Structure 1
Amino acid sequence: MGTDTIITRSSLTRTRNKLRSGTVTLGFIGGSITEDGRSAHNWPEPVTRWFAETFPRTRIVVENAAIGATGSDLALFRAERDLIERHCDLIFVEFAVNDYLTASEPRMRAREGLLRKLLADGRSELVLVYTYSQRMYEAMSRKEVPDSIAEFEQLAGHYGISSVWAGRHAWEEVVKGRMTWDEWLPDGLHPTHRGSLSYGQCVIALLERELTAAPQAAALHAAPLHAASLHAASPDADTDADASNPPVRALPQALNPHHWERTELVPFEEVQLEGPWTIRRAVALMPRVDRLLSTSAIGATLSFSFSGRGLVLVFDFGKKSAEFVYRLDGGEAVAVSRDRPDWCKDGGWLRPYWIADELPEGRHHIELEVVHGNREDCRGTDFHLGIIGILK
């Protein structure tokens, strides 16, 4: 494995101490490449098995919060429930692929907000994992770092977070003839068992270096992804001078002052409804949200007020989903018309829709009406709202 696939910026001291204590909780968040699907072959699986094999006297708890076709922006509103409240000790973050088509400014605001949120209480250590999609091909074939990864590296260097370019490791395995392209990812995105094992082995290489090798030797192995493009290892990386937990350090000043760390959710009970609405448990339909605010009636309306600079609505979305028209603060009506890709099913895609992200300070009000949408690819009028998120 090329040493340019791993950058060590933190010695994972807290994780080592938790392993010694007898229990460690691993957290994973990302897209379909990371989620814990029925096939159970994505890269977190070999990583988890490595922990169980290497530390047989330690209880390994796994909290896989990854969801396919979602990015850092949605992760912001799930981080507390799915990772922080579950007391994760080591969290692997994988969003370089799913954030790829998001514009640089909003994705950097979302990513920095997510990392700050996860680091805020000092309990969790993080590792950034970069996988691969075919959109990265041109940059990587020129031995360049794709923008989505390079931007993540800016944050990793600033916050002292170790990173693993697993996609680069798999690419090199193909180049060396150890793995064929179709053994890696025949659809250009989702790895097979062999491809996932390649990703996992790259992550395991970092873990072996930091959790089982001599701590004083760990720093000698650190190497940049691309010397001309990326930050070097952080001079403030933790050391393992003793077995006690190091003191919690205050987070550095944010790179982007407009980052999205502060968020809150609007309870459905605070929403005013007109028409046939229901609030129902979503475990069978959408396991990553507790409840859905639902209707299938064209003309049904909802409204609520909030304080914040941004508003996002997160839906159980698919080809049977209704569209909607909304007015924000009494302004002009905005008719929403979302695309429905071929891979999109009738429902089950947890999809955010951003109403606004740069509102003036103060109180705001939104009114929304359910409509069919009059689209050829819209086969129903299901309106399933899972999250009402506010940026503070």
Structure 2
Amino acid sequence: MELEVFKYRRDLKRTIEAIKREKLTIGFIGGSITDSRGRNRWPEPVTAWFVDKFPNVKIIIENAAIGGTGSELGVFRVKRDIIERNCDLIFVEFAVNDNDLPKEKTMRTREGLLRKLLASGKSDLVLTYTFCMEMYEEMINSKVPSTINEFEILANHYDISSVWMGLYALDEVMRGLIRMEEWVPDGLHPDLRGSYSYGQSIIKFLEKKLVTKAKISMSNLEYIIPRSYNENNWEKSYLLPLSKVKLKGPWTIRRCTTIQWMDQILDTSVSGAELSFLFNGRGLVLGFDFGKKSADFEYLLDDGEWVKIRWDCPDWCGNYGWYRVLYIGDDFDNIEHKFELKVINSSRGTNFRLAMIGVVL
């Protein structure tokens, strides 16, 4: 089977309209491969191309990518970080960070994310697939890694174009145009040359869809969202305000200063501090400002048993600043539940910072 870099599906009508209005807002959501903080990832050459190609258009960039996060977190923050920014064109990159996770779970989280984006009715979507070394053997043997194949199932169902950036770069490697260590020195994160290659694949896609494409009809921008592929997707997910949490012990609710994507955190440094809350739904996900100094904890859901969470801590992790997610589950009865949590002793540290309570209906 011959693998394809470009899958051209729907036209980028909203993007074309925005360019005509001379104001274009471009959104990016994904993991560290797309993260803008170093100004050295693939969104940079793509942005430069837009600025150069359309000099009379005001280009606004909303890069909401966060390293070490996947669609499980993205589905909860996409409203605040992307949809409410009124993006005309959105690139979604979660194939790598969702890799090795259970298929049923990621099909639910990804579809929920895409349905939220499509429901806004404001944007063109493009799915982008990057690379990690676990994909190498399959790709050189002309096989599609499962994480990408699963995204393509949704892309076909919702008629969303996609660009396999990782395949584009691997082809350059196989042709001797770039060395592997120039592309992904650590097997995952592209260097400047690798990011440029990823960006070039997007630019070639855009050249065809925006510049060289024959005139298209702009008479109907309405898009009717198809029926769900997976009825258990996370489209109906919401954030429970931290103000709804009952606290026992020395806690503060404070503005988060370590991660820009967090507004507030529930903060304590005392072992034995407790919190509890009620929620209506069938699933629960918690988000933390995590680091090497973070405390462990235990939790209780309804009348179940206490579950201890003793975090692993990779060498690359700092003392804080990783937006880390804990999946509690999403197959509960869709009724009111009670969640309780206690901070416990940890040889690593005492900081406990809860930033997100995500509920799935």
Report the equivalent of 2:26: 26
- Is the contact made by 1:311 and 1:355 (CA closer than 8 Å) also made in structure 2? yes
- Counterpart CA distance in 2 for 1:347 and 1:330 is 33
Report the equivalent of 2:217: 241
Report the equivalent of 1:312: 285
Q: Tell me the secondary structure at the aligned position of residue 215 of structure 1.
A: coil
- Counterpart CA distance in 1 for 2:108 and 2:333 is 17
CA offset digits 1:26-48 (Å, max 9, x no partner):
0000000001023x110000001
> Which of 277, 280, 283 is residue 254 of structure 2 equivalent to?
280
- Counterpart CA distance in 2 for 1:33 and 1:53 is 23
Report the equivalent of 2:245: 271
> Which of 245, 253, 257 is residue 227 of structure 2 equivalent to?
253
- Counterpart CA distance in 1 for 2:331 and 2:213 is 48
| Residue 351 in structure 1 maps to residue 350 in structure 2 | no
Report the equivalent of 1:303: 276
Q: Offset at 1:4? A: 2.1
How do 1:315-326 and structure 2 match up within 5 A?
Answer: 315-326=288-299
- Counterpart CA distance in 1 for 2:137 and 2:181 is 18
CA offset digits 1:11-36 (Å, max 9, x no partner):
10111011101101100000000010
- Counterpart CA distance in 1 for 2:232 and 2:217 is 36
State the one-letter code of the partner of 1:261: E
How do 1:120-131 and structure 2 match up within 5 A?
Answer: 120-131=119-130
Q: Offset at 1:333? A: 1.0
How many corresponding residue pairs? 360
User: RMSD over aligned Cα, in angstroms?
Assistant: 1.2
CA offset digits 1:108-166 (Å, max 9, x no partner):
10000000000002111100010101111111121111000011000001101000001
Structure 1: which 4+ aligned runs deviate by more than 6 Å?
none
Q: Offset at 1:3? A: 8.7
Report the equivalent of 1:222: none
State the one-letter code of the partner of 2:14: R
| Residue 294 in structure 1 maps to residue 259 in structure 2 | no
- Counterpart CA distance in 2 for 1:25 and 1:12 is 13
- Counterpart CA distance in 2 for 1:206 and 1:35 is 21
> Which of 321, 334, 340 is residue 367 of structure 1 equivalent to?
340
- Counterpart CA distance in 2 for 1:340 and 1:141 is 33
Q: Offset at 1:359? A: 0.8
Q: Tell me the secondary structure at the aligned position of residue 4 of structure 1.
A: coil
Q: Which runs of 5+ in 2 are unaligned?
A: none
| Residue 330 in structure 1 maps to residue 329 in structure 2 | no
Percentage of matched positions with identical amino acids:
51
State the one-letter code of the partner of 1:47: V
TM-score for the superposition, normalised by structure 1: 0.90
| Residue 13 in structure 1 maps to residue 13 in structure 2 | yes
Q: Offset at 1:372? A: 2.1
Q: Tell me the secondary structure at the aligned position of residue 162 of structure 2.
A: strand
How do 1:73-152 and structure 2 match up within 5 A?
Answer: 73-152=72-151
TM-score for the superposition, normalised by structure 2: 0.97
- Is the contact made by 2:283 and 2:329 (CA closer than 8 Å) also made in structure 1? yes
Q: Which runs of 5+ in 1 are unaligned?
A: 217-239
State the one-letter code of the partner of 1:384: R
How do 1:65-80 and structure 2 match up within 5 A?
Answer: 65-80=64-79
- Counterpart CA distance in 2 for 1:214 and 1:191 is 30
Q: Tell me the secondary structure at the aligned position of residue 351 of structure 1.
A: strand
State the one-letter code of the partner of 1:241: S
Q: Offset at 1:265? A: 1.0
- Counterpart CA distance in 1 for 2:225 and 2:340 is 38
- Counterpart CA distance in 1 for 2:182 and 2:241 is 45
- Counterpart CA distance in 2 for 1:196 and 1:271 is 42
- Is the contact made by 2:28 and 2:34 (CA closer than 8 Å) also made in structure 1? yes
Q: Offset at 1:260? A: 0.6
- Counterpart CA distance in 1 for 2:134 and 2:255 is 37
Report the equivalent of 1:226: none
